[in-house]
């Protein structure tokens, strides 16, 4: 038998032991990039096999044309405005109802069923209904975005509030901390993770809502433009808009949520 000793490597040794390029290749950003490359290659392959799948070249060409026609910015601006208002409303209302639901059993009993019903109604139904109710214009996409997203925010926040530490709630009530301060300093920070998850859902689900409402509403915007190309049987133009949506969602997610999450959880990551 040979005597073996377990040697622990110090962080300095670990850093100098692996070459820089190797660390970069095995990093998380590298994994992300690998996905994008793979997805792109699959797309190229599918386009080569099927006539009705437009390839990257065709889509880029349509996108460039759409830009040069000046259609992109004005339509996206419309969509963004509707989307932002709808998401903002759903977050404000969802937070309020979610906090109330989480704090009071009575409120929970009251709101539980409508929220469940709301969760089960797909965006496309709201898109149809709001176009019927409000006609063409900003109202239908805003209301669709709001109605699609708000149940997700509510359910997430309510769950978070119910999970707030009993000990901290008892501490607050024994010191007679006023309700407003309790919500601001105890409840909201405690549910920050749930709120972020809820807002993230709201953003992604909200995109569905706004695009569908524009698709049927015919009042301009990204969804309207995508339908225009779809109706014209121009799949490259249609795909160009789909790609634009996807890029916007990914960028929003990375820029806003990663940052918001890092900021909200500074206290957890602080070194000793």
Partner 1 sequence: MAVLTVKDLYKTFGAGTPRANRVLDNISFDVRGQTFVSIVGPSGCGKSTLLNIISGVETHTSGQISVTSDDGKPARMGYVFQDPRLLPWRSVRKNMLYVQDQADDETNRRVDKYLDMVGLGKHGDFWPGQLSGGMQQRVGIARAFAVEPDLLIMDEPFSHLDAITARALREQLQDIWSQSKKTVVFVTHDVVEAVELSDRIIVLQPGGKIFEDITIDLPRPRRQTDPAVATLQAEVLARLERMKGMAPQVSAAP
Residue ranges binding partner 1 (CB under 8 A): 167-168, 170-175, 177, 181, 185-186, 189-190, 192, 267-268, 270-272
Q: How far is the CB of 175 from partner 1 (least distance, A)?
A: 4
CA distance 203 to 95: 15
Q: How far is the CB of 271 from partner 1 (least distance, A)?
A: 8
SS3 159: helix
Residue 177 vs 252, nearer CB to partner 1: 177
Alpha helix positions (H), the chain = 11-17, 20-25, 28-49, 56-68, 71-103, 105-120, 123-134, 139-162, 166-174, 179-182, 188-190, 192-217, 222-231, 235-252, 258-264, 266-269
Q: How far is the CB of 193 from partner 1 (least distance, A)?
A: 11
Q: How far is the CB of 103 from partner 1 (least distance, A)?
A: 16
**249 phi/psi in degrees, rounded to 5:** -65, -45
Residue 27 vs 173, nearer CB to partner 1: 173
Q: SS3 for 47-104, per residue?
A: HHHCCCCCCHHHHHHHHHHHHHCCHHHHHHHHHHHHHHHHHHHHHHHHHHHHHHHHHC
Residue 84 vs 169, nearer CB to partner 1: 169
CA distance 92 to 166: 25
Residues 106 and 49: beta-carbon distance below 8 Å: no
Q: How far is the CB of 272 from partner 1 (least distance, A)?
A: 6
Residue 84 vs 183, nearer CB to partner 1: 183
Residue 18 vs 173, nearer CB to partner 1: 173
Residue 165 vs 254, nearer CB to partner 1: 165
């Amino acid at each position: 038998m040979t005597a073996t000793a377990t040697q622990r490597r110090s962080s300095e040794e670990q850093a100098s032991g692996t070459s820089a390029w190797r660390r970069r290749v095995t990093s998380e950003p590298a994994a992300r990039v690998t996905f994008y490359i793979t997805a792109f290659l699959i797309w190229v392959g599918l386009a080569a096999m099927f006539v009705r799948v437009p390839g990257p070249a065709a889509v880029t060409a349509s996108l460039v044309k759409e830009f040069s026609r000046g259609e992109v910015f004005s339509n996206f601006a419309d969509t963004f405005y509707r989307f932002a208002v709808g998401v903002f409303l759903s977050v404000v209302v969802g937070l309020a109802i979610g906090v109330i639901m989480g704090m009071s059993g009575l409120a929970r009993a009251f709101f539980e069923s409508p929220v469940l019903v709301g969760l089960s109604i797909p965006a496309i139904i709201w898109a149809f209904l709001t176009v019927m109710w409000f006609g063409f214009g900003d109202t239908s996409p805003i209301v669709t975005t709001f109605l699609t997203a708000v149940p997700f925010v509510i359910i997430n926040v309510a769950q978070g509030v119910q999970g707030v530490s009993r000990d901290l709630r008892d501490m607050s009530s024994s010191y007679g901390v006023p309700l407003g301060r309790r919500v601001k300093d105890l409840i909201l920070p405690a549910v920050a993770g749930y709120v972020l998850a809820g807002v993230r859902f709201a953003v992604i689900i909200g995109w569905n809502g706004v695009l569908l409402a524009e698709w049927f509403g015919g009042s301009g915007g990204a969804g309207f433009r995508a339908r225009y190309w779809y109706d014209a049987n121009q799949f490259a133009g249609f795909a160009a808009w789909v790609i634009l949506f996807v890029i916007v969602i990914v960028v929003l997610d990375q820029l806003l949520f990663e940052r918001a999450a890092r900021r909200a959880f500074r206290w957890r990551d602080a070194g000793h």
